[in-house]
Chain A
């Protein structure tokens, strides 16, 4: 299972890198979204996939799943949600003000 996850994460990172390197601002934002998905899956896998019972009081089992990575992912998801939504609004404002979403044209005075 970990093996499969490694492939999925790798593919997500690959797509994210490709999208982030493109010129269109919207593609870059989608790329950062994919990147954070990959990161969250990585975090889940690194904690070890399910190996035992839920770590709750009253559950009597030989081994328990590690709850910490899930808590971390939840935090990371919330943060990346916030940042991505801010970035989307900002990108839209930038598009309105500057009239372009092409990163080549957003380089600064020298290139205008």
Chain B
């Protein structure tokens, strides 16, 4: 038992609280936020090393033994996600220095980001299903504030809808937990898993599995529950949009992955349901991403496609496809963060998000253009960039499970993804220079996007280095016994 795994939750919590006290001193806030996230990143790196050497790490809060108290569990999946979360938050905060208005910045912006991180990282590392709900609420509460911060009309309108959707989803979450509790009589995820295999595949468990799918599907935006996402995300300013797009939906995906791999791994019905839904999600996301001329909307619909791909890989549920899914999940968080930050620079330069009024950015901003081009290729999964490895493994896994239609749809979706982002490149960077293109200093704004794109290139080229970590993560998901054993110490 090591308390190390609590630090990624505690550091942002303390930072968030401290930042409230001097919310007017922007420079100090910036330095402090960056510092705290850097510490978090270092701690998470050493945590990953520890998990690799010594297996899954657990901490029982207040020393209550495992099935009774709340357990914080960190296996490879959650540790990798925590690391990626911190990296993205780091870049979004750098972007916020120039990319967000002073008025927003001086009203608790940085401290709310820290609270958002508490929620996200907590949800990634908790081992208790009700505690997961609590961390979800922490994350959501912070996201409500971030979404409405600035008080413009669009934001108010969309935040109301976003909150109502999420309040209903939270109610469903508690209902699902209540049903689960009445069946298995415990909240500890490892113990639930053990009890469920004792209870056997009763029909009520399928009902609970579908309820969980609805709850997490609403957060993770899978078909048919993604209706709220394009509108709400579109209202947010760029750095917040990047945080949301890269992190929030992925928490939903992670929760589906965690609960399904631990609780319902024997229930083939829900897995095939998940597979079908994720394929429809891919198709609708692809259609949405080529339908719009608005750069924000295009990338937002690409989130939906990516969620579909990740969950499709997960629903196939064999070693290869799970490795692929985790690869793709990490890749997608980074590349989506990068793309949002890069289109943010484009919007900053031209003052519009509509592609019709952009054009010819290449001449004045060659670095932006080529970074975006790399990110676009990475998103579509052109080798040797980061999307390729994940997609290849997902498709390979689907072939092993002889799901040919599914793999065909995933391959086809890459083409549409490529089309949608290359459209931004062609219309935005090539062609006649539009009148909207101003000469503005963009060096600070461009830096975080470049960092993320470089990281994504590294993931692609250095896949060999990362693969032991990621296959360990896939192994964690595939064999719930390890997780149970680590938590319950049997």
Where the two chains meet, the residues of A that have a C-beta atom closer than 8 Å to any C-beta of B are 20, 25, 28, 32, 35-36, 38-40, 42-43, 46-48, 68-69, 72, 75-76, 79-80, 82-84, 86-87, 90-91, 93-94, 97-98, 106, 108
A22 CB → nearest B CB, Å: 12
B: number of interface residues (CB 8 Å): 30
> B184-207 toward A: CB 8 Å interface, digit per residue (1/0)?
000100000000000000000000
Q: Which of B393-447 contact A (CB under 8 A)?
A: none
Closest CB of chain B to A64's CB: distance in Å? 14
CA distance A94 to B164 in the complex (A): 14
Q: Are B175 and A97 touching (Cβ within 8 A)? A: no
Whole-angstrom distance from the CB of B192 to the nearest CB of chain A? 13
Evaluate contact between A28 and B164: CB separation under 8 angstroms. Answer: yes
Q: Least Cβ distance of A76 to chain B in Å?
A: 6
**Which residue of B156, B161, B167, B231 contacts A32 across the interface (Cβ within 8 Å)?**
B167
Contact A39 B175, CB 8 Å, known A75-B130, A94-B157? yes
Q: Which residue of B lies closest to A33 (CB)?
A: B167
Shortest Cβ distance from A93 into B: residue: B156
Q: Which residues of B contact A39 (CB under 8 A)?
A: 171, 174-175, 178
A97 with B181: CB separation less than 8 A: no
Closest to A35 in B: B171
> Which DSSP category, helix, strand, loop or mixed, fits chain A's interface?
helix
B297 to chain A, nearest CB (A): 12
Interfacial chain A residues near B144, Cβ < 8 Å: 83, 86, 90
Q: Are A106 and B160 in contact (CB under 8 A)?
A: yes
Which residues of B (102-130) have their CB < 8 Å from a CB of A?
130
* Complex interface: chain A residues within 8 A of B181 (CB): 43, 46-47, 68-69, 72
In the complex, chain B residues whose CB is within 8 Å of the CB of A68: 181, 187
**Interface pair B178/A42, CB less than 8 Å apart:** yes
User: Of A28, A35, A79, A93, which is within 8 A of B151 by CB?
Assistant: A93
- Could you list 15 examples of A-B contacts with CB < 8 Å? A28-B164, A35-B167, A39-B171, A39-B178, A43-B181, A46-B182, A47-B181, A47-B182, A72-B174, A79-B137, A82-B141, A84-B167, A90-B156, A97-B153, A106-B157
Whether B141 pairs with A86 at a CB distance below 8 angstroms is yes
Q: How far is the CB of B157 from chain A (nearest CB, A)?
A: 5
